[in-house]
Structure 1
Amino acid sequence: MPQAGAPAAASTAAAPAVPTEIPFASPHAAFVRTPSAPTAWGGPRTGSEATLSDRVVSYRIQAKLDAEKHAVDGQQQLTWRNRSDRPVSAVFLHLYLNAFEGEGSTFFTERGVLAADGGSRGTGKVKKGEWGYIDLNHVEQDGATLKWRYVHPDNGPATDHTVVRVDLAQPVPAGGSVTLDMAFHSQLPRVIERTGYFGKFNLVAQWFPKIGVLELPGERGATEPRWNVHEFHFNSEFYADFGEFDVRLTAPKDYVVGAVGEQQGEPVPDGNDLTWHFTQGDVHDFAWMAAPGFKTVETTWAHPGSPTVKVKVLYPEEYAGDAQPVLKATTDSLTYFSNTLGPYPYKTVTAVVPPFNAGEAGGMEYPTFFTADHVQHYQAHTSTEWLLDFVTIHEFGHGYFYGLLASNEFEEPMLDEGLNEYWDQRMLRDRKQDMWFTTPFWKFFGVEPPMGVFAFERMTAMLSHPGDPLGQNAWDRLSSAQYGTVYSRTATAMHDLEERLGKDVTEKAFKQYYATWHFRHPGIGDLQATLAEVSGKPEVVAQVFEQFVYGTERVDDQITDITSEEVLPLAGTTVKDGKRVELTSDDNDDAIEKQRDAWKKAHPDAKEGTGPFPFKTTVTVWRDGAAVAQVLKVTFADDSVETVRWDDQRRWARFVFTKPVKAASAELDPEQKIYTDHNKLNDSRTVEANHAATGRWTSDFAALLQGIYSLLVTL
């Protein structure tokens, strides 16, 4: 017993940890330059682990579709693991469907600004009774009812209800887990963008309460734990932890249901309904469709390193002709992506062709499940075959960049939309499947410009006036049209990087990127580090990233002048035999003419541009933008060629060639490797005026107008 007045002995029992408030990721978070720590997200997956991913969350959902009201009532049990080193007293949930509850949401507020230029999907008018929303009816933790409130991590309008904070009855200790039981009601919108209904067709996506991502130090640039739980922005998509889903879906018995994952047995009758059971581990989202009258075609696909995959296409009767092309493009994509990136690890792929007037439900991706498109959507203006293949390949490809690599589409959309677009076009290029300008539609008008897939991308990339860095987040952008360059300008920049690194080296680097980062949410810094390490050319990679990913550089190298003149003897005085001798201009001219006459007699068949005197050719090049490594090719009258590299930082340069023949032309980038150069028409010049290019464009345009006038006469 201590003496009176003596200090009490310190207790040996540890005081309970007091949860500290964990901050949100910045509302303006974007590209992450810093590579993630080697141990981020649990470290690389070797394949020897018990599960493919480090599962953070599990969802057990029972849901019933009210087919008349296009509404879903659900009960969900969500179990989440706290990966951090501190207790967590509140968790945050996405309620994505509330983006469609009214014009006060972040989604609609941004739509009014960003879509003003018309370069956007998702701009359909919402009529009475067509809004969508999700009501969170109750949340419980171990039987205790929890309080929750709407929050605005991105400082969006108070009327946005896409993120809620749930205060826990008991904190989740470091390394511990919490289970939340909740009930919710989801009203689908008339399909505006990504999710919703039309007629009896229902695409049910972003429909359940989904927990945000708690990022830890060393993950995507984080220096302390932070909640990455952005509002649903107009141009953004999604980001979530890997986990497992066990979902039972009840729909009318005459409805066909397709969903993420593997169907467990046959659907079970329940009065006038059927209950379908789907499970899938190691994914981060779940979506489904339900509609009557849909048909199915399916096949299986097998490949070394992957399980046997059941490939299924669901389609309405009116688009039966699309089913087999979508099926083939999907199996071809499985092979290509497995060969060039890494094995496909799941056992299913399901593609859905939306019905007529539900086009905004097309072109969307979820793990093992995507919506394609239908040919009639494009018939008025382009090649149906090319675009049907492209949309299918593109949405499947998301299964790798959005699905397996699981990058943050809110903050770094380039890592999904951009890289996926680039890889899709590589596949089409390898298939020698050119773009739509080479189709009968344009041939009808007499216009047949060649259009490879990457040439098409550079056309739509806004290379002359890029508004935002490629690495910018999805919402801090000038417009939806500028956001669209995430696709095309990324594909163009990666094309040019591939040309500098080499196709095989680039593919090797992306294989390493996939091997290291699948199931681990890489950032842009991780992509750059992998490309630099594997290629052994960090300075080349850094230059491309600084110019395009982190900056808004513009490239426009051009030839401003070319001259090619004879180097003639000069009049004046000179010293000969110790005496100064003068050569007058007249004497000099006479001597020149005599040499020319003698040379012509000796070379009666000589080409124009050759003669007794050498020619001095001077080519002036100008750089109106960022520096890129260029090759200058000069062609001479005898068809000989000289090439020189221009790979320094000079704004302009002159290159001089002295040869026995006159120059005919000069050209920058003769092998057409630099697609980021926004104006290729000024890359070449001829010594003599040549109007062939102008004439070709003029005649093509005239033919186009004539064809249009002929068509109008027939209407």
Structure 2
Amino acid sequence: MFKNFIFLLLCPAFIFGLNKYLIELDFNLTEKALSGKEIITFTNTYNFPIKSLYFNLYQNGFQENSTLWKESSFLSRYKEKFKEDVYSYTEISNILFEKNKLEYKFVSPDDGNLEDKTLMEVVLPRTIFPEEEVELEIYFKTKLHKFYFRSGYDGDNLFLMQWYPKLCVFEGGKWKAHQFHSFTEFYGEFSDFEINFKVPFEWEIVSTGKIFEEKVEKEKKVKIVAENVHDIAIVLSKELKKIKKSITITQDNPIEINIFIPSEYTNKVPRIMEILNKAFNFYNDWVGPYLYSNFSLVFPPWHTSQGEGGMEYPQLILCGIRHFEGTRNLVLEYVIAHEFAHQYFYGLIGSDEVEEPWLDEGFTTFISSTFLEKYYGDIKIDMPLILKLNSIKNFYINPFIFINLNYYRDEGIGQFLLEGFQHPDYLNYRIYAYNKPAMSLKTLEKYAGEEQMKQFLQDYFSNYSFLHPHTEDLIKLIEKNFGIGWAQNFYNLANKPQLIDYSAEIISENKFVLKRKGEFYVPLQVKVIFADGTKETLNWDGYKNFQIFTFQNKKLKKVIVDPERKILLDIDPLNNISNYKKEKNNFFFFLFSKIILLLEGMLCWF
């Protein structure tokens, strides 16, 4: 409790959000739609006059001519599957400012698609000056589609995700205003929300924020209050069972846990709570305290989502029930750990998921993979039959490597600092937003040590909670914690397409060469084994592209660069070892090593 109190004193932004939303809703449960009156209180806390406001209407992305639909070829399968209610929309009926009706228009700055309606510009009749507070009233209707892409409805289940006109973020004298794209998620300003509505009494609700319910005849009057969050998600269901639990990390500070789950899976709740207890404690130790008082997990029914995988929202995550089944080890543990980690990297540290997705996905992948590594150890891999016949019955792999296997498909054509919608395909997005940043951070940890890595993450958390850090802020923090060399390495990774590869090659009986590809400079060890059985460890600064080493009176047997495997960014670990006279290799083990390095897409649903 004391740790949380001190943090709050140092973080005045926690007291209230920059914007305030008051939304009155009227549900049409038959039509699967809602009508709303949204009053936004916007304060110009910036040193710039503002003449327009920009809003995202994400549900308009689920229309056939939208940019999202055009970029996501897989969405067309839902048209074949559902036949009806494939599309959704948010339409605006009126916007009022100081009792005057305002005009609005849809804009498409990213691709010029005139039929895309996911970004709305509202031109104001006058300028909003710094420190001025204004109110805007927006009257809207949102119609939900059948459930897919982690939102919509199915039977008596409603998943309200990105369902309201959402004000964009103003930074550096301009609006960070983008359309809704296939490979991008969301970016919003920290705000306070109050949502009011009525539903039939038998409907259960979980959401971002705290829920207050009052029974009124056959209905219940619902008020949701969420403070200092940058989005609000609501799930309503007559089918899911709501189970309340709590977790206490610090004395006198219990966190309310709501698990929304199909009744046939309630026997999984102890396993879920075990994972959550470990995750809350781990992230509290490595990053910082969870600064809200509630958290919810939602497991959509199978007939709703077909077990669709995880997704994060402030104080709430979705998790596919398929992760309860099958033989794939620790998938449920990883999904929960990954999506909960987003409560820090995106939820509390509010980086830009659209323009700099590596700041949330990379850090989340790093910390959740490390969580799995610490609590669960190596993952057992089922052997192909050909390897079993060759007496290799069991194979175990480090979970950090397993989760980030896609990294080994890096072709050196991308960098971290790339807007999500600029990635040419989903694999490229996965590598440069998730896997390569995670492997970079793990390489940093292996060099600096676990305690220094924890201190760095805690500094990041304490400096940027409830703020919007960018890549340049992170690089400055890396320089402060680890020095100019590591800052330069991460600058290069963020800005320059490149492959990182260290290799060793024996070129004669007493001479070998070390090579480096890519602009990633770290000192490393080289283990040299001589023909007479003696060994020697050399230190190489790793700065030159190549360096030749010669021994006058000794014959070489084997050279191993980076023998402790600190540089996880090394794209081809197999060329780290060179034998003067090639030792007899087990063909099947060699084949399996290649298979492991080239495995792809094993965890692409997170």
Instruction: State the TM-score, normalizing by the size of structure 1.
Output: 0.76
String of CA shifts for 1:179-206, please: whole Å, max 9, x gaps: 1222211111223313222333221110
Equivalent pair of 2:301/2:307 in contact (CA under 8 Å): no
Q: Is this contact kept in 2: 1:510–1:531, CA < 8 A?
A: no
The residue identity in structure 2 corresponding to 1:200 is: D
Q: Deviations over 1:595-614 (max 9, x none)?
A: xxxxxxxxxxxxxxxxxxxx
2:495 aligns with one of 550, 575, 589? 550
Larger deviation, residues 331-340 vs 281-290: 331-340
2:206 is matched with 258
Instruction: Give the Cα separation in 1 of the matches to 2:217 and 2:9.
Output: 40
Q: Is 1:146 matched up with 2:102? A: yes
Structure 2 residue 422 is the aligned partner of structure 1 residue 476 = yes
Asked whether the 8 Å contact 1:411–1:474 carries over to 2, the reply is: yes
Kept in 2: contact 1:458–1:675 (CA 8 A): no
Equivalence for 1:62: 24
User: What is the distance in 2 between the residues matched to 1:434 and 1:648?
Assistant: 30
Q: 1:49 to 1:414 in 2, by over 3 A?
A: closer
Pair 1:510–1:429, CA change in 2 (3 A)? same
Partner of 1:529: 476
2:540 aligned with 1:667: no
CA distance in 2, matches of 1:360, 1:149: 38
Q: Report the counterpart of residue 113 of structure 2 in structure 1.
A: 157
In 1, the alpha carbon distance for the partners of 2:257 and 2:384 equals: 32
Relative to 1, partners in 2 of residues 1:232 and 1:643: Cα closer, same or farther, differing over 3 Å? same
Matched, 1:657 2:551: yes
- Is the Cα contact below 8 Å between 2:307 and 2:322 reproduced in 1? no
Please give the alpha-carbon distance, in whole angstroms, between the structure 2 residues aligned to 1:493 and 1:228. Answer: 28
Equivalence for 2:78: 125
User: Which secondary structure does the structure 1 equivalent of 2:312 belong to?
Assistant: strand
1:214 corresponds to: 170
Which secondary structure state, in structure 1, belongs to the residue aligned with residue 142 of structure 2? Answer: strand
Report deviation, 1:321.
Answer: 4.0
Contact 1:306 1:344 in 2 (8 A): no
1:518 aligns with 2:457: no
Provide, for residues 83-111 of structure 1, a one-character-per-residue CA deviation record: whole Å limited to 9, x for no partner.
233443321111111000x2211211222
Q: Which residue of 2 aligns with 1:77?
A: 39
| TM-fit CA distance, 1:401 | 0.7
Query: What is the match of residue 3 of structure 2?
Result: none
Q: Percent identity over the alignment?
A: 23
Q: Distance in 2 between matches of 1:691 and 1:298?
A: 60
Residue 500 of structure 1 pairs with residue 444 of structure 2: no
C-alpha displacement of 1:562: 5.4
Distance 1:304 1:45, change over 3 A: closer
State the secondary structure of the residue aligned to 1:140. Answer: strand
Paired residues for 1:348-497 under 5 Å: 348-357=294-303, 358-359=305-306, 362-375=309-322, 379=326, 382-383=328-329, 386-435=330-379, 437=381, 448-485=394-431, 486-497=433-444
User: 1:506–1:531: 8 Å Cα contact kept in structure 2?
Assistant: no
Give the greater-gyration-radius structure (CA).
Answer: 1
Q: Separation in 2 of the partners of 1:444 and 1:692?
A: 17
Which whole-Å CA distance do the structure 1 matches of 2:490 and 2:32 have between them?
48
Gap change, CA 1:169 and 1:555, over 3 Å in 2: closer
Mapped partners of 1:701, 1:685: distance in 2: 17
CA contact (8 A) 2:201 2:215 kept: no
Match among 195, 200, 204 for residue 160 of structure 2? 204
Compute the displacement of 1:291 (Å): 1.4
How far 1:76 sits from its partner (Å)? 1.6
Could you report, residue by residue, the CA deviation over 1:138-190 in whole angstroms, capped at 9, with x for unpaired residues? 12223322221212232430000011122334543321111122221111122
1:366, 1:403 within 8 Å by CA — same for their partners in 2?
yes
Residue among 530, 536, 552 paired with 1:642? 536
Query: Offset of 1:133 from its aligned partner?
Result: 0.8
Checking the alignment, whether the CA contact within 8 Å between 2:193 and 2:225 is kept in structure 1 is: yes
Structure 1 residue 688 and structure 2 residue 581: aligned? yes
Contiguous gaps of at least 5 residues in structure 1: 1-43, 116-121, 216-221, 565-616, 703-715
Equivalent residues, number: 582
- 3-state SS in 1 of match to 2:150: coil
Native 8 Å contact 1:95 1:162 kept in 2: yes
* Closer, same or farther: CA 164–250 of 1 in aligned 2, 3 Å: same
The amino acid across from 2:344 in the alignment is Y
Cα separation, partners in 2 of 1:561 and 1:627, compared to 1, 3 Å: farther
2:357–2:420 contact (8 Å) kept in structure 1: yes
Cα 1:107–1:53 change in 2 (3 A) is: farther
The structure-2 alpha-carbon separation of the partners of 1:442 and 1:263, relative to structure 1 and needing over 3 Å to count, comes to farther
8 Å Cα contact 1:235/1:480 also seen in 2: yes
2:52 counterpart of 1:104: no
Structure 2 distance, partners of 1:682, 1:60, is 60
**Distance in 1 between the 2:403 and 2:593 partners?**
22
Cα pair 2:412 2:498 within 8 Å, conserved: yes
* Inter-partner Cα distance in structure 2 for 1:654 and 1:205: 58
Contact 1:106/1:156 (8 A) holds in 2: no
> 2:387·2:588 contact (CA, 8 Å) conserved in 1?
no
Superimposed CA distance per residue, residues 532-554 of structure 1 (whole angstroms, 9 cap, x where no aligned partner): 1022x2112312330x2211210
Corresponding residue number in structure 2 for 1:576 = none
Q: Deviations over 1:332-375 (max 9, x none)?
A: 21111111111111100111111104157641111111112224
- 2:420 maps to a residue whose letter is A
- 1:329 is paired with a residue of what secondary structure? helix
Aligned ranges 1:258-277 → 2 under 5 Å:
258-264=206-212, 266-269=213-216, 271=218, 273-277=219-223
- Counterpart of 1:475 in 2: which secondary structure? helix
Hey, what does 2:600 align to over in structure 1? Answer: none
Distance 1:345 1:230 in 2: 29
Shift of 1:492: 0.9
| Paired residues of 2:500 and 2:569 also in contact (CA < 8 A) | yes
Report the alpha carbon displacement of residue 128 of structure 1 after superposing the two structures with TM.
2.8
Which secondary structure state, in structure 2, belongs to the residue aligned with residue 309 of structure 1?
A: strand
Which residue does 1:238 correspond to in 2? Answer: 186
Q: Distance in 1 between the 2:31 and 2:471 partners?
A: 43
The one-letter code of the counterpart of 2:570 is D
**Distance in 1 between the 2:10 and 2:262 partners?**
42
Q: Is the 8 A contact 1:632 1:668 kept in 2?
A: yes
Question: Quick one: which amino acid aligns to residue 482 of structure 1?
Answer: N
Q: Distance in 2 between matches of 1:76 and 1:516?
A: 32
- Relative contact order (C-alpha < 8 Å, sep 6+): which is higher? 1
Aligned amino acid, residue 60 of structure 2: N
CA distance in 2, matches of 1:550, 1:678: 18
Measured in 2, the distance between the counterparts of 1:441 and 1:268 equals 61
One-letter identity of the residue aligned with 2:85? G
Structure 1 CA distance, aligned partners of 2:152 and 2:123?
A: 30
Q: Distance in 1 between matches of 2:453 and 2:156?
A: 46
Structure 2: gaps (5+ residues): 1-5, 596-606
State the 1:701 CA deviation: 10
In terms of mean alpha carbon deviation, does 103-112 or 440-449 score higher?
Answer: 440-449
| AA at the equivalent of 1:259 | S
Work out the CA distance in 2 between the residues paired with 1:49 and 1:510: 16
Q: Alpha-carbon deviation of 1:422? A: 0.5
